[in-house]
Structure 1
């Protein structure tokens, strides 16, 4: 399973950074997109919308306004699910995902990983 983190950061205090760390620790394949290029736990953070293959899960760390710029991109990846972490709730995008038969969860990736629900 490959997970795409959108809103990735090299800042150790950011939840996206902690999510990358925990995903890597639990042997998940991780790819990442952020506002700035960098590396987090050997995962390159890209700034371009790369056509990654085999994305199972997209986990969001950007607000609803920023998400709108990613709608078409995320749909093009055909993920199985999208996770809306706290602060990223977006009913408009929920409807678009549902329409495209992509499941979504309003949850915390860190909690899901810690409780083996990821």
Structure 2
């Protein structure tokens, strides 16, 4: 899946600090909501991806890589793709995703919202 295809999905989970207006997770969550995507927030609002009460299309990692990896390892829900935002990537996350054959792209949803 590429960024254009990701933006055609409907159900997003933003993983990061979605409460602090200065954080990118906050901006991403609110811009997705403004464009009428279905959005849940994990990190400051929900504590686990497993608490999301809808089928997930896109997991957006906009969080410290150590915390992101922990949440991924605890996750039991299915999803179509992960978007790893700049700064949320790490060798450990990429290794975990590859070993578990989990689909991902390294990209930015803010860019996707502007382009598509």
> Is structure 2 residue 30 aligned with structure 1 residue 21?
yes
Structure 1: which 5+ residue stretches go unaligned? Answer: 36-44
What does 1:39-78 correspond to in 2, within 5 Å? Answer: 45-52=45-52, 53-74=54-75, 76-78=76-78
Between the aligned partners of 2:22 and 2:65, the Cα distance in structure 1 is 21
Decide whether the 8 Å contact of 1:34 with 1:46 is kept in 2: yes
Partner of residue 104, structure 1: 104
Kept in 2, the 8 Å contact 1:79–1:102? The answer is: no
- Check whether the contact 1:5–1:31 (CA below 8 A) recurs between aligned residues: yes
Alpha-carbon distance in structure 1 between the residues aligned to 2:70 and 2:36: 30
Q: How many residues align?
A: 106
Q: Which has the higher strand share?
A: 1
1:2 maps to: 11
Q: How far off its partner does 1:85 sit?
A: 0.6
Gaps of 5+ in 2: 1-9
Taking structure 2 as the reference length, the TM-score comes to 0.78
**2:82 match:** 82
3-state secondary structure, aligned to 1:55: coil
Provide the aligned C-alpha RMSD in A.
1.8
What TM-score do you get using the length of structure 1 for normalisation?
A: 0.77
Match of 2:40 in 1: 31
